[in-house]
Structure 1
Amino acid sequence: MRARGAGSGRAGRAEAGRPRGPAGRAGTGRAPRTGPGPGARAPLARRLAGPQNRNLWFWVFVGPFALGLLVFTYVPLGWSVYLSFFDAHNTVSPTEFVGLDNYTAMLKDEAFTDSLWTFAVFTAFIVPTTFALSLSLALMVNRLRRAQAFFRSVFFLPAACSYVVAALIWKMSLFNGVRFGLANTVLGWFGADQTAWLSTTDPPWYWLVIVTVRLWLQAGFYMVLFLAGLQRIPPVLYEAAAVDGARPGWQVLRHITLPQLRATSVAVVLLLVINAFQAFDEFYNLLSDARGYPPYARPPLVYLYYTALGQGQNLGLGSAGAVLLALVIAVVTIGQARWLGLGRADEKGA
């Protein structure tokens, strides 16, 4: 009994010497926890901001762009679809619902169908020529040992130029149809007569002007895409081809380079076709002053511009044409992607 009492007394004195917490419990020497417990949820503002405010900074940087995209792109697109079902002359606030009459009238309009044929002709010219030129430039630049960055920048620089500015330069300086123009000056060196490049009479030389300005503007951009694809080809493939006796040139290009560039080539062709659909600036600025040029010299966007913002200002009919053009672009793009096998897994990786 005495030993037990002595032990209890020592334990009581030790307990009395320990620091106690605010609730009278024996303290541990550490500061009390003030935050929420393990099972408590963080405040709503902190959860929305995310860890280290990542969600907050994401919307700080992306929010203005997303807001501008919504206000200036998606809202006008939706309103254009809405206008296509109304009779909207000189107004964007229609009241008379006409259903599919605008679509029927647009499909029966020969000028609209002729503009689609203009797109087909323009695509037949611009897509293969741009593809071949950009691929050739990429192959040449990729083989350079020195100054590769310089030539890459030089060829890409026209892509930063405005289509309007380039069209005016082609129209007023290069192919202006007078003897002081660059094209007629070069022809004069060989004794050739002057040519009215933008004349609507046969032969239609204005196609040469339109195709060349588009080539100058976009060949450098697609060259960069091909160049990126070329630099991703493993050099070991070319070494193996050399060991197998493949001659450098057409054999290596056909059996190694082009198959390895298949994905890039499909993407380039799709972008070229879509851009051909969207041709507007060069046609409008090169041919707007030419009197009497045929309706088939107008691509779809130029025709829709005159329909919606011309003398009649039939915004409902123009909106219906824009929707039809968007559907045509979607159908052509999807069909072309399926035909070219966009996204198809390689046979080796399947």
Structure 2
Amino acid sequence: MTALRHSEARVGWWLTVPALAGLAAFILLPFVLAVMLSFTNLRMGSPLPVAFVGLDNYRLAFGEPAFRQGLFNNVLFALIVVPVQTALGLGLAVMLNNRFHGRWLFRTLFFMPVVFPLSLVAVVWVLIFAPGPDGVLNAVLGALTLGVWEPRDFLNDPAWALPAIMVTSIWQGAGFQMVILLAGLQAIPRQLYEAAAVDGAGALRRFLHVTLPGLRNPLIFVVIVTTILSFRVFDQVRIMTRGGPQDASTTVIHEVVRHAFDQGQVAPAAAMSVVFFLIVLAVTLALRSLMRQQGTVR
């Protein structure tokens, strides 16, 4: 029996080799290279020899107003998008868990934005947020307010640029949460709802005391994954606003790309990447530790 277990363990380790090789090649190795480059003065196209500069790039990164603004925008983006998107996905999942005619069509329509390329979604929303009375959103708001609404240039307004990207992200990603939570809803035994109804529990009490406890683990998974995805937002920013206006919608990844490829400052971009990686790792571990304390994650 022991020999059989050892044989199964060896087979299991061999089966994980492709995944471990992928992690090493595409995550571990790039991170190690970024750490090494962050201590140098490497600049793309520079004739100067590469030299060790210590922590200068880290001091430069934290002294960069655009980088600090990007960190703030990332945190604000996560604090708003994660709960709103999760609540929207939960509401859609609860609605589509009920039996009604054409339910499959609504499931398809709500999930469709998830499979669209994010670049395509961003371009569509650029058209929706187009300035002037001919813009879709401006026209709709003008019609709803009977002409009171003043047309705005959402993507070129510092007060509206980041919220516009948030709306785009929420619309594009809510279907993912919906599918995960819908699968969780279908795994909750119907007997629990029947027992709660027999005890006189109304719809709200059944939702609070049966649905939410039954969705604890799917909700935790959705929150953690959505938090990680919200910190790595880039495509929408690059296509819709390019971080503007006045860095109002920039993010850390956008600043990394701008420094590395637009300005050729590879070493400062590597330092920003390392700092951001450690922040996201700390947030993920904190969430996991919190869930472990509640007995939901092992």
Give the TM interval when normalised to the shorter protein. 0.7 to 0.9
1:307 counterpart = 2:259: yes
Q: Which structure's CA Rg is the greater one?
A: 1
Equivalent position of 1:295 in the other structure: 247
Paired with 2:67 and 2:181, the residues of 1 have a C-alpha distance of: 35
Change (3 A) 1:214 1:233: same
Amino acid of the residue matched to residue 167 of structure 1?
A
Partners of 1:81 and 1:319 within 8 A in 2: yes
The 3 A distance-change label for structure 1 pair 208 and 117 is closer
Q: Does residue 242 in structure 1 map to residue 197 in structure 2?
A: yes
* C-alpha contact (below 8 Å) 1:84/1:320 kept by paired residues: yes
Task: Structure 1: give runs of 5+ residues left out of the alignment.
Answer: 1-49
Match of 2:156 among 192, 199, 216: 199
**Residues paired across the two proteins, number:** 285
Amino acid across the alignment from 1:299: T
Q: What does 1:1-350 correspond to in 2, within 5 Å?
A: 70-90=24-44, 95-171=50-126, 173-189=127-143, 190-191=146-147, 192-201=149-158, 204-248=159-203, 250-288=204-242, 293-311=245-263, 313-341=264-292, 344-345=295-296
CA contact (8 A) 1:197 1:206 kept: yes
Q: Please say if residues 118 and 298 of structure 1, whose CA atoms lie closer than 8 Å, have aligned partners that are also in contact.
A: yes
Distance in 2 separating the partners of 1:118 and 1:241: 44
Q: Higher relative CO (CA 8 A, sep ≥ 6), structure 1 or 2?
A: 2
Deviation, 1:187, is: 2.5
| Residues 132-141 or 174-183, more deviating | 174-183
Residue equivalent to 2:3? none
Give, in whole Å, the separation in 2 of the partners of 1:340 and 1:210. Answer: 29
Deviations 1:303-337 (A, max 9, x none): 111111222x1111111110110000011111122
Rounded to whole Å, the distance in 1 between the matches of 2:279 and 2:160 is 28
- Structure 1 distance, partners of 2:151, 2:171, is 23
Q: CA RMSD in A?
A: 2.9
Percent identity over the alignment is 32
Cα pair 1:87 1:95 within 8 Å, conserved = yes
Q: Displacement of 1:177 after TM fit?
A: 0.6
Distance 1:141 1:211 in 2: 24
Counterpart-to-counterpart distance in 1, 2:21 and 2:225: 26
Alpha-carbon offset, residue 127 of structure 1: 1.2
Query: Given that residues 243 and 254 in structure 2 are in contact (C-alpha distance below 8 angstroms), is that contact kept between their aligned partners in structure 1?
Result: no
- In structure 2, how many angstroms separate the alpha carbons of the residues matched to 1:340 and 1:67? 29
The structural deviation recorded for 1:289 is 8.5
User: Do the aligned partners of residues 345 and 221 (structure 1) sit closer, same or farther apart at CA in structure 2, a change above 3 Å counting?
Assistant: closer
Deviations 1:21-46 (A, max 9, x none): xxxxxxxxxxxxxxxxxxxxxxxxxx
- Structure 2 stretches of 5 or more lacking a match? 1-6
Q: CA deviation at 1:91?
A: 5.9
What TM-score results when the alignment is normalised by the length of structure 2? 0.85
Shift of 1:258: 0.6
TM-score (norm 1): 0.73
